[in-house]
Amino acid sequence: MERMRELVDLLNKYAYAYYVQDNPMVSDEEYDKLYDELVALETELVFRLPDSPTLRVGGETLKAFQPYRHRERLYSLDKTKNIEGFEAFLERIRKAIGSIPMLTLEHKFDGLTLSLTYENGKLVKGATRGDGEVGEDVTAQIKTIRTIPLKINYKGTIEVQGEGIMRFSAFEEYNKKAAIPLKNPRNGVAGAIRNLNPKVTAQRKLDFFAYNVGFHDGYRFSTQEEIHQFLIDSGFLTGAFFHTVSSSKEAEALLAEIDKNRASLDYLIDGAVFKVNELALREELGFTEKFPRWALAYKFQATETTTVLKDVIWQVSRTSKLNPLAILEPVDLMGVTVKRATLNNYSDIQKKDIKIGSRVLVRRSNDVIPEIMGVYRHAENSREVLPPEICPACGSPVRKDNVFYYCTNEDCAPRIISAIDHFASKGAMDIEGLSEKTAEQLYNDLQIDSVDKLYSLTREQLLGLEGFKDKKAENLIAGIAASKKVTLSRFLYALGIPTIGKKGAKQLADSFRTIDGVREATAEQIQEIYDFGGVMADSVVNFFADPKNAEIVNNLLIYINIVEEDEPPKDGVFSGYTVVFTGALQNYKRSAAQKLVTEAGGRIAESINASVNLVVAGEDAGSKLNKAKKLNIRIIDETEFESMLTNSNKN
């Protein structure tokens, strides 16, 4: 029993570091080994501790939800959509208490409100909000959520309130495998919590953000700041955004910041919440029949809406893939009139049961083309979306590969124009003045049908094109000239290698250091790069093996000078080292260890090559270790690695 207690405490500690603090303490392999030992011990003893992490996988299916009466009512919040409404809220408070007090400001999460009851430090009940007074007992479901602690230090009775959410990353991962995809993360969390089978809840990989304490005995909170800190100290996940404000001007600036950054969050928020900080003032202000007078929800413009899908057209990409594009009945969304939306592929269209003529649910991030999340309602005249049989641009036959369709014509005009546009884009060669429209003009009027031909363009040729005057021609020539000095990662990304984005290009550059190193790499060597699979490795090898691509790259290298990466290496104990990690580390996740090396001046490579001069070998190190020994590369273990880090910190 002593070993069981030790394992449970250790695993809960590691899970808290991983899921709440986003700071892994051990490798996945080490965690799994301890978890398997705990499962075996629980099976042998036919007993589980109440805070065992094995409880989070979900138990037996429930027959029905039981009602649960909250010890304190969970009120909804009064709302506003503009700063004038917020100022009116401040004025009401000023009239009631004679001054404007300090307020707290937090994200307004868009999920499902939940209340957790702890008694004597143990989680004993989880419930939905319901009507605020009576909710549904969903204890079995909420125990599957890893960011809900099963045990806290508070020894009295306490109700912790917060929001169950499904992150976009979890939502997207779930939909990749789901027979029936979810429409949005909000529906995903509601359906998961209100599902009688807790195992379904566990599959959705939900999170819980705590933001309030309701009923509690044995402790006296005086401010919302104290409540927020108590939740953090008790091991709950809380919103990263928490500020205090005392004026309309401060509030307006912070609201603008939240609205600007919400598209980059991995979870839905639909606004922000203001609360009077001092709890004594809250008691003085009191409640209306529906709302607390001391709190206000500020709602942002919706990121989702519904509209009618009028048609689906197919567009040719730079890789010759035909991408479906939804043509929508125009609708206002986040202050922009939306007429088009992305559809991932034909398989996704079928899974979501998307039909022309149906009303669909559309979501838009701030700077991303809207995406159709699912069907809101079919119409009588709804009709199936048909896959393409011929290329809509050139009429060539279409080839189906897995879930995608490709034009079989290598000289298809949209494909070439898109490749030129990508090559010149900001994250690639960054050729100022070369837009997609200009790429089309160069292709049609000057027969620029491959990216290497850009470097032989002359000012005189450009002046012969419609819309090109001296200044415009000179700017484009100057932009092309400036692109001749470029980092390897940007050059690789610009080439448009299928499946290789900016991150993959940077990893290739860091691993092989030179363009020749990348061109000569085998699929096996490339697969040694973290997160690179067989498809990505084969894509790189096949790209450079293609005679046409090889000729274009050779021509480009006549003009282009590949320079060191944009970011100069930092000074530190790993300066001058190019480091490869192999095997499992006990105290670090590989990505975290790699980050420590780069912060201390080193470079990271994913495979053994001529530039590598240090290998950190963990448990079960394989072929990389053997290869390093053959090449007489310096090899250290985790203890020596930590010693180097300690010296780095001293410096």
Whether residue 236 contacts residue 219, with contact meaning beta carbons closer than 8 Å, is answered with no
**Residue 453 a catalytic site member:** no
Q: Is the dihedral of CA 27, 29, 32, 38 positive or negative?
A: negative
**Distance, CA of 284 to CA of 267 (rounded, Å):** 35
Residue with token string 């301890």:
34
Q: Indicate the pairing of strand 336-342 with strand 322-333.
A: antiparallel
Tokens coding 13 = 């500690």
170: left (phi over 0), alpha (psi -120 to 50) or beta: alpha
Q: Is the dihedral of CA 108, 112, 113, 115 positive or negative?
A: negative
One-character DSSP codes across 23-45: ---S-HHHHHHHHHHHHHHHHHH
Whether residue 14 contacts residue 23, with contact meaning beta carbons closer than 8 Å, is answered with no
Residue among 13, 95, 108, 151 flagged as catalytic: 108
Tokens coding 414 = 């949209």
Maximum alpha-carbon separation in the chain: 85
On the 0-12 / 13-18 / 19+ scale of CB atoms within 10 A, 644 is buried
**Distance, CA of 512 to CA of 606 (rounded, Å):** 9
Tokens coding 152 = 């806290």
- Start-to-end CA span in the chain (Å): 45
Instruction: Name the DSSP letter for residue 17.
Output: I
**Distance, CA of 254 to CA of 63 (rounded, Å):** 46
Q: Which residues pair with 151 in a beta bridge?
A: 122
HSE-CB at 535 with a 13 A cutoff on CA atoms is: 5
**Distance, CA of 179 to CA of 248 (rounded, Å):** 48
**Distance, CA of 176 to CA of 574 (rounded, Å):** 40
- Residues annotated as catalytic are 108
